[in-house]
Structure 1
Amino acid sequence: MEEKICIVAIVERGKADKIVDKAKDAGAKGATILYGRGTGESEIQKFLNIHIEASKEIILIVSKNQNIKKYLTQ
C-alpha cells in the first residue's frame, strides 16, 4: 500500500480557495476546508498591541507522499 500524507494549513478566513486552487494546479485531486476560530491569548495581544483575527480556515489535503513537495512549493 502506498503511503499517504495529510497536509494541514491554517489560514485567514477567505484565503483557502486560492491556496486550494494552487494545490490543484500542482496536481492535488481536491481538499477539505473547515472553518474554525482561534483562541489567541488576549494578554499577549494586548501587550504587543496587535489584533489577531479569530476566524480561520483549516485546509486538509491528503496525497501520496511523493507529491507533497509540488504542493508546498506552489
Structure 2
Amino acid sequence: MKFSAIVVIAPDDLEEDAIAKAKEAGATGITILSGRGIGVENRKTFFGMTFEGSQSVLLMVVAKHLSLPILKKMQSLLLDEGKSRGIAFTVPIDHLTGLDMGQVMKFEQHLREQND
C-alpha cells in the first residue's frame, strides 16, 4: 500500500472544520501543531505591538488514494471567494515505519467499502 503525507496550515479558527472535513474524507489520525507565519501582507500592529495570528498545522499520513479527496475538502475550506485562508499540500512517502496496524486495517476496510 502506498501512503502520502498531507500538511494543512490554516488559521486556528478553521482547525475544527479542517479536522472534520479531513475525517469525512477518510483521514483516521491527525497530528496538530501550533504555528505562526509571515504571509504576503505586512504584520498588523496595535499601539506599537505586533499582532500575529496563530495557525494550526495539521499533519496526516493517509493511503495515497485518500490524499486527493482530502485535499479537495481542504480547498473548499481554505479558499473563500478566491482569497486564500491557508494552504494544504501532499508529499509522497517512500518509506514508513511505526504505523499502527489498526490504522492499516481501517485503510484496507475503507478500500473494500469503496470497491463494493
Query: TM-score, normalization: structure 2?
Result: 0.49
Any conservation in 2 of the 1:20–1:30 contact (CA below 8 Å)?
Answer: no
The number of residue pairs the alignment matches comes to 66
Q: Which has the higher contact order (CA 8 A, sep 6+)?
A: 1
Does residue 67 in structure 1 map to residue 66 in structure 2? yes
- Choose 1 or 2 for highest CA Rg: 2
Q: What runs of 5+ residues in structure 2 fail to find an aligned partner?
A: 45-50, 74-116
Query: TM-score, normalization: structure 1?
Result: 0.73
Q: What runs of 5+ residues in structure 1 fail to find an aligned partner?
A: none
Report which stretch shifted further, 50-59 or 10-19. 50-59
Give the CA deviation at 1:69: 1.2
Equivalent-residue separation in structure 1 for 2:13 and 2:7 (angstroms): 16
> Runs of 4 or more off by more than 4 Å in structure 1?
none
Identical amino acids, percent of aligned pairs: 32
**Once superposed, what is the RMSD of the aligned Cα atoms?**
2.1
